[in-house]
A and B are shown apart, each in its own frame.
Chain A
Amino acid sequence: MASGKKQSQQFARQLLELSLVDGAVSPEHVAGVLAYLERTRPANALRVLRAYQRLVTSAIARGQAVVEHAGSINDRALADIAAAMSRRYGRSITGTARRNDALLAGLRVRVGDDVYESSVAGQLAQLAAAV
């Protein structure tokens, strides 16, 4: 059982490698992988698909900088942040804006599991934690 799960994870990782182009998830390649899976129906297909979905989601999140903001943010600022994150991680990262009024003012950038924040809400939270 554990061996089958491990094999499914390994197979999903191999499929993910096939889905990447220059370190980014390619929709065309993902469609090709899904078509392959539908055609061949490997053992434990459902488990493989779940693991593949999780890996693809994680890869997309790693290649995407979600910029939460309160107030307006222009495209130039979004592009500057994406470029800074691409330089930092050494891979192509695209920026996606998402409004979050709970921040009061400022930005919160999320790349995969990493979070960078410069917001009034964050500073107030730090103040509360320091007290």
Chain B
Amino acid sequence: MTLPLFLAAAQGAAQPGIVETFGLETKYIIMQVVSFLIVLGVLYKFGIKPVTATMEERNRKIEAGIRHAEEMQAKLAATQAESAAIVKQAHGEAARIVDDARKSAKEFLDKQTQEATAKANDLIAKAQQATQLEHRRMLAEARAEVARLVVTTTERVLARKLTDADRAAYNDAATRELTSV
């Protein structure tokens, strides 16, 4: 505001009146300019510059925060996508494990069934063999008992019926048989 007045005063110097009208003096104007510059420098150094630096710093921090938030958001999105992929993979893996477990259970059941059937058949075969063996043993015992009874009865009958002449004749035959050995 002071400078335009000074210029206007300079342009209108020829015309008496303005400087004198307003009472302008050069030394005062210079002093005011110097004072203004000093005040401007002081303000700039201790007021405007720190404020500007503070604002720039704040702006940088804000921008950094925004960038960080954007990065975080991107990371979050990537993490969510990764988590979704992992969950999806886990679901697939779980389904595969369940299928394998079902398949293994079915195979185990089939194997157990086959083994049980084989054991049952084996037991039946052994039981049949035992029955046959018991049958044969009983037949052998019956045959031996019958033979023993026949021999005992024959011995008793012969002991009663054989005469001395019969025994002597048998002894002669036995002598001939034994001497021809």
User: Would A105 and B170 count as touching, CB distance under 8 A?
Assistant: yes
Query: In chain A between 101 and 131, which residues have their CB closer than 8 angstroms to a CB of chain B?
Result: 101, 104-107, 109, 116, 118-121, 124-125, 127-128, 131
Is residue B159 contacting chain A, with contact meaning CB distance below 8 A?
yes
User: Would A105 and B171 count as touching, CB distance under 8 A?
Assistant: yes
- Taken residue by residue from 59 to 84, chain A's Cβ proximity to chain B (1 for < 8 Å, 0 otherwise) reads as 00000000001111100010011011
Is residue B21 contacting chain A, with contact meaning CB distance below 8 A?
no
By size class, the interface of chain B is 20 to 34
Complex formed: what's the CA distance from A127 to B155 in Å? Answer: 12
Q: Which residue of A lies closest to B147 (CB)?
A: A131
User: Would A84 and B179 count as touching, CB distance under 8 A?
Assistant: yes
Is residue B27 contacting chain A, with contact meaning CB distance below 8 A?
no
Query: A70-B167, A105-B171 known; A128 and B148 CB under 8 Å?
Result: yes
User: Would B172 and A88 count as touching, CB distance under 8 A?
Assistant: no
User: Would B178 and A124 count as touching, CB distance under 8 A?
Assistant: no
Q: Which residue of B lies closest to A126 (CB)?
A: B151
Nearest CB in chain A: distance from B176 CB, A: 9
Query: A72-B168, A131-B146 known; A124 and B151 CB under 8 Å?
Result: yes
Complex formed: what's the CA distance from A88 to B144 in Å? Answer: 36
Is residue B7 contacting chain A, with contact meaning CB distance below 8 A?
no
Is residue B25 contacting chain A, with contact meaning CB distance below 8 A?
no
Main secondary structure of the interface of B (DSSP, over half): helix
User: Would A72 and B179 count as touching, CB distance under 8 A?
Assistant: no
Query: In chain B between 129 and 181, which residues have their CB closer than 8 angstroms to a CB of chain A?
Result: 143-144, 146-148, 150-151, 154-155, 158-159, 162, 164, 166-168, 170-175, 177-181
Nearest CB in chain A: distance from B140 CB, A: 10
B166 cross-chain contacts in A, Cβ below 8 A: 71, 105
Complex formed: what's the CA distance from A1 to B51 in Å? Answer: 126
A80 cross-chain contacts in B, Cβ below 8 A: 175, 179
Q: Which of A104, A127, A128 contacts B159 (CB 8 A)?
A: A104
User: Would B167 and A71 count as touching, CB distance under 8 A?
Assistant: yes
User: Would B177 and A118 count as touching, CB distance under 8 A?
Assistant: yes
Query: A105-B162, A105-B167 known; A77 and B172 CB under 8 Å?
Result: yes
Nearest CB in chain A: distance from B27 CB, A: 156
Residues on A lying within 8 angstroms of B by beta carbon are 69-73, 77, 80-81, 83-84, 88, 101, 104-107, 109, 116, 118-121, 124-125, 127-128, 131
Residues on B lying within 8 angstroms of A by beta carbon are 143-144, 146-148, 150-151, 154-155, 158-159, 162, 164, 166-168, 170-175, 177-181
